[in-house]
Structure 1
Amino acid sequence: MSAGRIGSYIRRIKNITNRILGPSQPIDDLDIPLPKSSIVLSTTIGEKSYTFEPDKFFNKISIPLGIYPFLCLWIGLFIILVRQQYYLPNSPQIISCTAAPWNDFPPDTCGLNGTNCLNDLTEINDKSFRCLGGCKNSKLGNSRYIGSEKINNVPLVIGGGDVDKTYRADSWVCSAALHSSIISSSLGGCINFHSLPHPEGYSNYLSSNSHSINSTAFEPHYPGAFRLSKYSSINGCLDLHYIVTGFNAFCLLLTTLLLKPRLSLSFIILLVLGYFHLILFANPPNAQSPNWETIFARLTPTLIAGYWMYKISFKRTLIGFRNLPFEIAIWQGAGFWIGIESSTIFNKLPITRLGYDSLDPAGIISLVIIIVIVVIIGCIQAWQMRKYGLLRYYLYRYIPLVPLLIILAVIPNYSFRPHHYLLALLGIPVVSLPNRISLFLQAFFLGLFLDGTGRWGWDGIIQLTGSLVGDANTGSFVPSFWSNLTTSTTLFWDPVDVVEKIHNVTSYSILIDDIQHFANYTNRSIDMTTLGLTAGIDHFVRLAFIANGTSLDITKPVTWHANSSWSQLWDVV
């Protein structure tokens, strides 16, 4: 191929690329056409025609001088609602949605027959607690074994199907209260806690379905159990999340339509309102009162990030809509509240475990729909950016991030974590046009950013893999059961000397029916008939090596059936 032909191909490719990317220089902001009102209502009565343009109407009746008195009133009422949520005298202590009398991880943390957790159960006997709303959406992030049943992505509720509604001591109290119909799913409520005597506990925890919570059954005896009863009053018990959301949304609507604040002030209202609404109501602290030190410590970086967002994106868009308050109220308001409440809203979609577990058919359909919507919106926005010479401008700035992100993703012992507040920051600059897509998306990204930093803080884009394990297995060495030696009553496994020199293993921790029966056990077998177990039902055995005084990962349960046969012994890792 001749050099001239190669040059011709290069020129063609260059011309095609230039056509796709559009102008090489962004046009001046003043030359970008401003949006016009798209909402006009008209009707004809008799021979007369009437036209109503909401934006013109609200511009005429706006009262800009009323903005500061109204903000003072709004803040005052918000403080009263905060007091009602946290500072009413004699209100029961707030507990988290995942609080349980007995910690369930590691599975042997409560020691022999649960004695290490005895005080945790007895100290709260006959005390009252307050559960906030939304506990139905709190679910296990990693799998658990209840007997031989593996559960995941559900509230941890064991039992409650009997007449007295008895729950195992490692059940989540608030989820159990919801399952017992004592509290409201959205408004929460207060409960009285009653522990059963230890170690008598309870046996035959029955499963039942209530308020979309399907509790797990467990037949063997368990030494810790509790029951719940209804609190005597609702005063100071109800979660004000949805009430305050409606109140703040109404006040924001009035501010936008009638008071017409300056552009910078309107953004500050969004930023500060969203931050405190998220911290205090959408994601309230699991404590009797908020930690104001932490709240104001996190406020400073939030304000700094907000200043950058305003300069890079919001200012240009809001200038274009400065005379269209009704459009701002609709598009910006909708995007903002969807973003702020994104964890509540999107938690109902079957894709919340994306990246952790495989999706079911409904999850796949939801994900495909979301991807299609994102692609369509992205193409529309890219076309608009091309018209104004911004597509090339942003590509030059975003493309260098790709190799940087790839490098971060392959650093050994670290996990790449593109938290959604980082995705929001990444998306903010490209939604800076004076169009309705930008108006909606930049408010949505602001809400998403606040939801991320408000709920989980400023976690880094890479994190140590070990710090993300949480209550999952760490991947350590586990014993193997020996089926060739195991009899109908005696279970055998790897002897300590097989691994002691490599992993500093000294003994075993043995769980029978989900509770530790032996610690620092050194034999390599156990006779089930010597344990005094209830006859005629299945029992469950789990095993872990103890190294340096700490239990390593625990095997999957092996079932000793009522007929003295064993489940598969080789699938326990």
Structure 2
Amino acid sequence: MESSSVTSSLRATHVDSESSFEADKPTPQLSKEPFEVEALVQETAKASELWHRRLARRLAQRYPRVARLVRYVQGPRPKVDLPEPRPFLNLTLYTGRRSRSLALEPFLLRVTRPFTGPWLFIILGAAYIIAFAFFARAQSFQTPSDSFIGCTATYWAANDGCGLNGESCEPFTDSTFDFRCPEACASVVLENPRTVGDVQVDYVPLIVGGGDANRTYRGDTFICAAAIQAGLISNSKGGCASLALIGNYTDYLPFTANGLTSIGFPTVFPLSYRFLSSTPLHHCEDLRTPALAWNVIVTALILLVLRPKPIITFWCLVCIGFWHVALFSEPMATPPPLDSAFGAFLPALFVCYAFWRLAFRFTLPVFRKAPIEASVWYLPTFWAGVLTNITMDKIPINRLIASDLRQQPGAITALIIIVIIVLFIVINQVRVIRKTGWLPHYLGWYVAGGLVTMVIALLPGLEFRLHHYIISMVLIPGTAFPTRLSAIYQGFLLGMFLNGVAAWGFDSILQTAADLQGDGASGSAMPSFVTNSTNWNVSIPLHNSTISWASLPSSGGWDGFSLIIDDVERYAGTALNFSLAILQSGLPHFFRLAYTSADTTGDYTMPATLWPNGTWVDPKPGTST
């Protein structure tokens, strides 16, 4: 220490003596030695820390409640890890002075230890893939591909979809069709109101007719729903049938059978069909229920018996769940388009790897010594999420957009209940996260994500659409904690993500109004009939009568009209009237009118009705589809 001091004083004296002789010379800037730079950095950091502490102390003195809230949100410092949950099934029962141990988890671990070898897992995995491939072949690839139809398949499109006089939907007669339907078509319903005559139907399968002795259905009836109503196929297993087109038919009668009710249509329609008594198709039974049982058993064996490493278990759940949806429970089309499925599979794997890194690696491994508990917490919720199309089917919410929530009965109530349940779950999860000290970290990321989402949602010309796979991606990072509830949430959210991606692909979070409209109303301007109940002349015969409407508006870019009579487009042009000479007397007739612009058709008016007794009923306000 003394020698050091002497050296320092000598260095100072030497510098002073030199400076006295070289005062007029420019002194070069010497670079600081490394230890001097480190000291400077430490001093700066210490000063910054002191400044930070002083500011925090002043804020705490001025706003003590805010300071307490901040300390509460921060949680323990330094951060801590939650203890691993103790297995429920390792119980000790005391009866007097004796105790009996019910160690079910260790017993299962001991009994199944011979089956946990990696080679056995590889062999059984290969056998599963081969068996699954044969299962998929029997499900979708032994019936002609052109015989598969969806639950909403029809021969006639809504409004002017078939063109003038239905020319785009010909032929109307002398044609047969052998078809195969998937299961559960009775629950596939109209998502927008559909006008049939003067009636609007919504949130039911579209079935018109079937009440006569020959079971005659109108051409726009959902084919599979009609086949279920007619008793030709099963709603639980699907099936095959054949039909024949018969052309014009008058007065379709309503009918109720097999849990489905059709509506009537009291006038003529150019396209109808009847079912045949037999079909040449084979291998028609839908195997999604046996496939579900098979996959549930396999996943249970993986968790209970084979017990690979947690990361392998995770990837098994991902692959089995994805391909069950893509090939069985909710394929993108029928037969399943394998190219589209593989196109969604690879990016899904990348997202699932993020799930593992962000959440599952902190929760799934803590149950490695409790396989029974792992199966109980993960598998039921996982398969409930994979089968979201079934488990959530009774909830009256189809799309999380304002127009659907307003239209669908019970949707707002259901949404409120769901929000309350999710809010309780989130509050409890926030409580758990705070105990670890990680709450500020998660709050920061979620607030940042919320701000980005708000900016995206405000982009002009686009509508924000929250798909259920996105909900899973948002919530899974918040389950990265070793609790039983986190395991339950992870199972359901992973299954829901796989259902959304395998069934629909990575659909955009932003969509145009046209994307969301579908076959619903666009909100465009509508024409008005000049003919009304006041000026209609009952004494003029129908074949001499004419209906008329107001001229085109100067704004909007419209250049013509489309007139639908009895749900068939009968006129498209610029005229302001139409002769009713082509109509059959003695029947009711229904008239709807819309503006047109090039190939675009606006919204149709509600139907005006002309009854056989000559009574004209003006259209109600609103649009029809």
Q: Report the Cα offset of residue 368 of structure 1.
A: 4.4
Is contact 1:128–1:231 with CA below 8 Å preserved after alignment?
A: no
Q: What is the aligned counterpart of 2:344 among 298, 314, 321?
A: 298
Q: What is the aligned counterpart of 2:139 among 80, 85, 88?
A: 85
Match of 1:492 in 2: 548
User: CA 1:429–1:229 in 2, change beyond 3 Å: closer, same or farther?
Assistant: same
Q: Report the Cα offset of residue 74 of structure 1.
A: 1.5
Is contact 2:400–2:466 with CA below 8 Å preserved after alignment?
A: no
Q: What is the aligned counterpart of 2:438 among 362, 367, 390?
A: 390
Q: Does 1:380 align with 2:440?
A: no
Match of 2:583 in 1: 532
SS of corresponding position for 1:545: strand
Q: Does 1:110 align with 2:162?
A: yes
User: CA 1:90–1:15 in 2, change beyond 3 Å: closer, same or farther?
Assistant: closer
SS of corresponding position for 1:114: helix
Is contact 2:332–2:502 with CA below 8 Å preserved after alignment?
A: no
Q: Does 1:217 align with 2:264?
A: yes
Q: Report the Cα offset of residue 349 of structure 1.
A: 2.2
Q: Report the Cα offset of residue 68 of structure 1.
A: 1.6
Match of 1:272 in 2: 319
Corresponding letter in the other structure for 1:109: G
CA–CA distance in structure 2, aligned partners of residues 340 and 228 of structure 1: 35
Corresponding letter in the other structure for 1:60: R
CA–CA distance in structure 1, aligned partners of residues 249 and 448 of structure 2: 61
CA–CA distance in structure 1, aligned partners of residues 399 and 350 of structure 2: 32
Corresponding letter in the other structure for 1:333: L
CA–CA distance in structure 2, aligned partners of residues 552 and 364 of structure 1: 29
CA–CA distance in structure 2, aligned partners of residues 353 and 89 of structure 1: 33
CA–CA distance in structure 2, aligned partners of residues 169 and 410 of structure 1: 42
User: CA 1:134–1:165 in 2, change beyond 3 Å: closer, same or farther?
Assistant: same
Is contact 2:179–2:242 with CA below 8 Å preserved after alignment?
A: yes
Is contact 2:245–2:274 with CA below 8 Å preserved after alignment?
A: yes
Is contact 1:353–1:359 with CA below 8 Å preserved after alignment?
A: no
Q: Report the Cα offset of residue 12 of structure 1.
A: 2.6
Q: What is the aligned counterpart of 2:300 among 253, 274, 297?
A: 253
Is contact 1:485–1:492 with CA below 8 Å preserved after alignment?
A: no
Match of 1:420 in 2: 468
Q: Report the Cα offset of residue 548 of structure 1.
A: 1.9
Q: Report the Cα offset of residue 51 of structure 1.
A: 4.3
SS of corresponding position for 2:105: helix
Q: Report the Cα offset of residue 255 of structure 1.
A: 1.2
Once the two structures are superposed, residues 523-567 of structure 1 have per-residue CA deviations (whole angstroms, 9 ceiling, x without a partner) of 323354x233241x4210011223225433222211112332222
Q: What is the aligned counterpart of 2:501 among 453, 460, 479?
A: 453
Match of 1:75 in 2: 129
SS of corresponding position for 2:601: strand
- Judge which range, 354-363 or 221-230, deviates more: 354-363
- Judge which range, 252-261 or 33-42, deviates more: 33-42
Q: What is the aligned counterpart of 2:568 among 507, 515, 529?
A: 515
Is contact 2:592–2:605 with CA below 8 Å preserved after alignment?
A: yes
Q: What is the aligned counterpart of 2:527 among 479, 482, 502?
A: 479
Corresponding letter in the other structure for 1:99: A
CA–CA distance in structure 1, aligned partners of residues 245 and 394 of structure 2: 33
Corresponding letter in the other structure for 2:133: I
Is contact 2:405–2:411 with CA below 8 Å preserved after alignment?
A: no
SS of corresponding position for 1:543: strand
CA–CA distance in structure 2, aligned partners of residues 42 and 190 of structure 1: 58
SS of corresponding position for 1:310: helix
Once the two structures are superposed, residues 231-286 of structure 1 have per-residue CA deviations (whole angstroms, 9 ceiling, x without a partner) of 45784101111110111001110111011111111011011111111100011243
Q: What is the aligned counterpart of 1:203 among 250, 262, 274?
A: 250
Match of 2:23 in 1: none
CA–CA distance in structure 2, aligned partners of residues 506 and 372 of structure 1: 50
Which stretches in structure 2 are left out of the alignment for 5+ residues? Answer: 1-56, 539-544
Match of 1:403 in 2: 451
Q: What is the aligned counterpart of 2:148 among 71, 94, 109?
A: 94
SS of corresponding position for 2:231: coil
Is contact 1:24–1:393 with CA below 8 Å preserved after alignment?
A: no
Q: Report the Cα offset of residue 363 of structure 1.
A: 5.2
Q: Report the Cα offset of residue 433 of structure 1.
A: 0.8
Match of 2:20 in 1: none
CA–CA distance in structure 2, aligned partners of residues 362 and 468 of structure 1: 20
Q: Does 1:432 align with 2:501?
A: no
Q: Which structure has the larger Rg over C-alpha atoms? A: 2
Normalising by the residue count of structure 1, what TM-score does the alignment of the two structures yield?
A: 0.90
Aligned residues: 553
User: CA 1:295–1:90 in 2, change beyond 3 Å: closer, same or farther?
Assistant: closer
Q: Report the Cα offset of residue 97 of structure 1.
A: 0.8
CA–CA distance in structure 2, aligned partners of residues 205 and 423 of structure 1: 45
Is contact 1:220–1:534 with CA below 8 Å preserved after alignment?
A: no
Once the two structures are superposed, residues 13-56 of structure 1 have per-residue CA deviations (whole angstroms, 9 ceiling, x without a partner) of 111332244235532xxx43111111357889999875433322
Is contact 1:189–1:234 with CA below 8 Å preserved after alignment?
A: no
Is contact 2:397–2:414 with CA below 8 Å preserved after alignment?
A: yes
Corresponding letter in the other structure for 2:68: N
Once the two structures are superposed, residues 131-152 of structure 1 have per-residue CA deviations (whole angstroms, 9 ceiling, x without a partner) of 0101112111211100111111
CA–CA distance in structure 2, aligned partners of residues 142 and 154 of structure 1: 10
Q: Report the Cα offset of residue 310 of structure 1.
A: 0.5
SS of corresponding position for 2:165: coil
CA–CA distance in structure 1, aligned partners of residues 454 and 622 of structure 2: 36
SS of corresponding position for 2:200: strand
Corresponding letter in the other structure for 1:478: M
Normalising by the residue count of structure 2, what TM-score does the alignment of the two structures yield?
A: 0.83
Q: Report the Cα offset of residue 374 of structure 1.
A: 2.1
SS of corresponding position for 2:336: coil
Which stretches in structure 1 are left out of the alignment for 5+ residues? Answer: none
CA–CA distance in structure 2, aligned partners of residues 11 and 49 of structure 1: 53
CA–CA distance in structure 1, aligned partners of residues 98 and 291 of structure 2: 44
SS of corresponding position for 1:35: coil
Q: CA RMSD in A?
A: 2.7
User: CA 1:485–1:523 in 2, change beyond 3 Å: closer, same or farther?
Assistant: farther
CA–CA distance in structure 2, aligned partners of residues 358 and 464 of structure 1: 19
Corresponding letter in the other structure for 2:75: G
Mapping 1:353-368, distance limit 5 Å: 355=401, 356-358=404-406, 366-368=414-416
Match of 2:331 in 1: 284
Is contact 1:147–1:513 with CA below 8 Å preserved after alignment?
A: yes
Q: Report the Cα offset of residue 222 of structure 1.
A: 0.3
Q: Report the Cα offset of residue 320 of structure 1.
A: 1.3
CA–CA distance in structure 2, aligned partners of residues 363 and 510 of structure 1: 34
User: CA 1:232–1:517 in 2, change beyond 3 Å: closer, same or farther?
Assistant: closer
- Judge which range, 506-515 or 8-17, deviates more: 8-17
Corresponding letter in the other structure for 1:86: S
SS of corresponding position for 2:176: coil
CA–CA distance in structure 2, aligned partners of residues 459 and 122 of structure 1: 39
- Judge which range, 240-249 or 71-80, deviates more: 71-80
User: CA 1:175–1:159 in 2, change beyond 3 Å: closer, same or farther?
Assistant: same
CA–CA distance in structure 1, aligned partners of residues 313 and 511 of structure 2: 36
User: CA 1:92–1:519 in 2, change beyond 3 Å: closer, same or farther?
Assistant: closer
Mapping 1:6-405, distance limit 5 Å: 8-23=61-76, 25-27=78-80, 31-39=81-89, 51-62=101-112, 63-65=115-117, 66-88=120-142, 93-104=147-158, 107-119=159-171, 121=172, 125-196=175-246, 198=247, 201-232=248-279, 235-287=282-334, 289-352=335-398, 355=401, 356-358=404-406, 366-405=414-453
SS of corresponding position for 2:142: coil
